Amino acid sequence: MSEEIIKRNNVRVFGQGKQMLVFGHGFGCDQYVWSEIAPAFEDKYRVVLFDYVGSGKSDKSAYSTERYGTLHGYKQDLLDLCDALNLENIVFVGHSVSSMIGALASIERPDMIDKLVMIGPSPYYLNESDYYGGFEKSDIDELLDMMEVNYKEWAKYLAPVVMQNEDRPHLAEEFEQILCSNDPVIARNFAEVTFTSDVRSELSKVTVPTLILQPQFDAIAPPEVGRFVHEQIKDSQLVVMEAAGHNPHISHSEETVELIQAYLNS
């Protein structure tokens, strides 16, 4: 069974050291997005990279809308692969929706997760009278419709919005290619799960030390959201980055590495 899971989630393990560092990618991505980050840790840590089912080079035949119709299906992917590798006391680094997947996993299995690092997290993307998530419902509906009608046009539109850093257009072009490498049907389902999930009430149940890395300008998870996550998680630390854009691990990899290393060393 464990070999099946390792193949299913395209798991890769490398590096040296006792502490395990597991990296979880965000929606529309795969483990490739950690290529500038993960190698910086392999001298002192064992590093685990993987793809959620339906993403990257995972076994897409294992995908079902029943299992992956909520974030709990993705949380189960994470727990499954940690069990398959007999992992304990891991540091889980999650980008975007993976931050919430990691939070849910830590609530269920606090013995497994020693620390969380959240990059651009959001527990809820919609604006409400007493909460600013950054999006109106009509924005999300439009996004999902666009994905259904013309996936490639959607990717072309979204990539520069997510990446920012207009002075480096190659970043948006590369991110567009990552988005386009997805199965459009699965990607749309994952988008709907991501953008309609509400994990706000779960955050207060997180008991593990947590670092929140908040880009200073993020069109997907604005600074108000980062502050909300920090307020809800008792033992958390919020760092506002110099980086702009929702993917600082791609656009500002050095700063991202430095902040994670400083946190782990402290």
Selecting among 55, 218, 249, 251, the annotated active-site residue is 218
Asked if 191 and 183 count as a contact pair (C-beta separation under 8 A), the reply is: no
218 carries an active-site annotation? yes
Rounded to 10 deg, the angle between the 184-196 and 151-163 helix axes is: 50
CB–CB of 102/74 below 8 Å?
Answer: no
Given the residues 246, 251, 252, 253, the one annotated as active site: 246
Q: Which residues contact 253 (CB under 8 A, 6 or more apart)?
A: 36, 37
Q: Letter for the amino acid at 263?
A: Y
96, 98, 197, 236: the catalytic one is 96
In angstroms, what CA-CA distances link 42 with 17, 37, 46, 126, 147?
Answer: 8, 10, 6, 38, 37
Phi, psi of 240 (to 5 degrees): -85, 120
Q: Which residues are catalytic?
A: 96, 218, 246
